[in-house]
Amino acid sequence: MRPRFLLHVFALLLLFTASLCTSSQTALVKPQDPRLAYMGRVGKPSPEAAELYWSGTSVKLNFEGTDVQARLKDNTGNSYYQVVLDGDTVGTIQPDTASRLFTLARQVKRGQHTVELFKRTEWDKGTTTFYGFELGKGGKALPPSAKPKRSIEFYGNSITAGYAVHDYSGKDSPLGLNTDNYLSYAARTARHFNADYTCVCKSGIGILVSWGPIIMPEIFDRLNPSDPASKWDFTQKQPDVVVVNLFQNDSWLVNRPEHEQFKRRFGNEKPTERQIITAYQNFVKSIRARYPNAHIIAMLGNMDITRQGSPWPGYVEQAVAGLQDKNVYTLFAPYKDTPGHPRVEEQQAMAEQLIRFIEKNIEW
C-alpha cells in the first residue's frame, strides 16, 4: 500500500505545482492579435513582430489587470516612446538594441485600463520592433475600442515632427527627449477630434529640395521610409482630412546655390516661381490620386516662411487656385517671431488654429 500511497501524493504535488505555474503565468498579446489597435503605417513582417518607423505611430491595448509590459527592440537604441495609460502620459521609454521587456504600468488599480505606446521620435532615429504586450498575473486582454469615426493624415517636416519642442536652451537640439511628436500640433489636432492619426514627416525635408537626399514626393508612399522598395498600401485607410505642411526647407534651400542638394536638384539655376508652384501642385495631385474624397489643407507655418513679405504663401495660394479643387484649402499659421523651432506652447497655438479651421470649414 505504501508505494501506491506515495504515487498518489506525488501526483497531487504535480497537479498543485502545475496549478501554481498556470496561475502565475503572464498573458502574452502577440503583435497580430486583433485586440491590438495600431495607428500610422506599421510593418508586419511576421506573426511574431511588428515594426514601427514613423513619428506618431502607436499601438494600443485595452486590458483588465494591474501590470503590463511590452517587449521591444530598436535597431539604433535612439528611439523614444510616450507611455499613455488611460489617456494620461505616465512616462517615456527608450528601447534597447537587444530585445527586452519594459514595464509600462505596475500595480495600478485593478480593473479595465488602456495602454498605448506612442513613437515620439523620427524614423531616422530608429526602427522599433514590437513583439507584443505581456500582462501580469490574472491579466486579460480586452476587445479594442470602436474604431475612430474620423481619420487625419499629415505630411510635414520638422514642425510636424515636433523637432526640439522641449529644448528651451536656444540650441534647438533634437537629441534625446527634445523631439516629441506627441505634443506636435498634428498629434494634438488628431486627439482633439478623436481621429485615427497618420504622420508622414521628416525634419529637413522639402517638396523640391531638402537638406538631405530625399524629398517628400520620393518618400510619401513608403511603408518603411528607409526602404525605397517598401510601398504603403493606400487602400488600407482613406483619411477624411489630409494636412500638407511643407515648403519651409525649400524656402531656404532655393537661395543656397552652394549647397550640394541645390546643385543636385537644380544644377546652377534657381527654380522659377512657376516651377515652385507646379511642384506643389504635382504633390497635391499625388495625394488626391490616392485619396479622391479627402479634404486637403495646404498649410504653412509657423516659422519664417510666413513672416511678413515672404512670397511662399502666395505660391501656395496660386498652386491651390490652379488646382480648381473645391476640397483643397489654404491655412497659414502666423510667424511666431521667436528663434528656432516651435516649442510646446507654439505647437499648441498651431493646433488650436487648425482645429478652429477644421471645425468651421469641414464636415467629417
Boundary residue ending a domain (115, 141, 167) = 141
Kindly tell me if the per-residue pLDDT of 3 is higher than 70: no
One domain, residues 71 and 178 = no
Query: Kindly report the CA angle at 307 between 302 and 309, in degrees rounded to 5?
Result: 150
| Contact of 350 with 301, CB cutoff 8 Å | yes
Same-domain pairing of 328 and 201: yes
Mean pLDDT, rounded, for 172-193: 97
Same domain, 222 and 124: no
Kindly state whether residues 194 and 98 are assigned to the same domain.
no
In CATH, what number is assigned to the domain containing residue 182?
3.40.50.1110
Is 42 within 8 Å of 31 (Cβ atoms)?
A: no
Return the pLDDT at 6: 38
Examine the pLDDT at 79 and tell me if it is beyond 60. yes
Output the nine-digit C-alpha cell for 100. Answer: 527586452
Total domains in the fold of the chain:
2
Whether residue 20 lies inside any domain: the answer is no
Cα(7)–Cα(13) distance, integer angstroms: 10
Q: Please indicate, yes or no, whether residues 356 and 246 belong to a single structural domain of this protein.
A: yes
pTM score, two decimals? 0.92
Domain co-membership, 335 together with 295:
yes
Domain boundary among 122, 141, 160: 141
Q: Are residues 255 and 344 in the same domain?
A: yes
Q: 259 is in which domain, residue-wise?
A: 150-361
CATH number at residue 87: 2.60.120.260
Identify the band that residue 170 occupies on the pLDDT scale cut at 50, 70 and 90: confident
Q: Of the residues 113, 141, 169, which one is the last residue of a structural domain?
A: 141
* pLDDT over 60 at 13, yes or no: no
